Amino acid sequence: MVFDAAFARVRDHVAAERLPTAVLGVADANGILALDAFGQVTTDAVYPLFSITKVLTGITAVRAIERGLLTPETALRDAVPEFGRDRDDVVRLRHLASHTSGISEPPLDTPTPLRRELLERGRDFAAGTMSRYSTIAFEGIAALVRHATGAEWDQATFAWASGIGATGLTLDPAGSIDVPDASKAGLDIDRFRATRAPGAGLLGRAEDLLRIGSELLRIGEGGRDGILSPAGLAMMLRPLTGDIPRLDPFPAERGQDWGFTVNLRTRAPGLIDRDVYGHGGWAGTEFWVHPTAGVCWVLLTNRAVRPGVDADEIDNAVVAGL
Predicted TM-score (pTM) above 0.85:
yes
pLDDT at residue 1, as a whole number: 65
Residues 6 or more apart whose Cβ sits within 8 Å of residue 158? 169, 170
Residues 6 or more apart whose Cβ sits within 8 Å of residue 28? 214, 217, 294, 295, 296
Nearest to 118, CA basis, from 143, 136, 99, 101:
136
pLDDT surpassing 80 at residue 155: yes
Please name each of the domains of the chain with its CATH number. Answer: 4-320 (3.40.710.10)
pLDDT at residue 225, as a whole number: 66
The DSSP bridge partners found for residue 215 are none
pLDDT at residue 248, as a whole number: 85
pLDDT at residue 49, as a whole number: 98
The stretch 301-308 carries a mean pLDDT of: 98
The stretch 313-318 carries a mean pLDDT of: 98
Exposed/middle/buried for residue 89 (C-beta within 10 Å: 0-12, 13-18, 19+): middle
pLDDT surpassing 90 at residue 250: no
pLDDT in tens, 46-92: 999 999 999 999 999 999 999 999 999 999 999 999 998 889 999 99
132: Cα separation from own chain's centroid: 15
Angle (CA) 226-227-228 rounded to 5° is: 85
Using alpha carbons only, how large is the chain's radius of gyration in Å? 19
Distances (CA, A) of 298 to 27, 59, 137, 226, 286: 9, 18, 25, 20, 5
pLDDT surpassing 90 at residue 254: no
pLDDT at residue 223, as a whole number: 64
pLDDT in tens, 3-43: 999 999 999 999 999 999 999 999 999 999 999 999 999 99
pLDDT in tens, 223-240: 666 899 999 999 999 999
pLDDT surpassing 80 at residue 241: yes
pLDDT > 70 in the chain, percent: 99
Mean pLDDT of all residues belonging to the chain: 96
pLDDT in tens, 163-182: 999 999 999 999 999 999 99
Identify whether the C-beta of residue 296 lies closer than 8 Å to the C-beta of residue 210.
Answer: yes
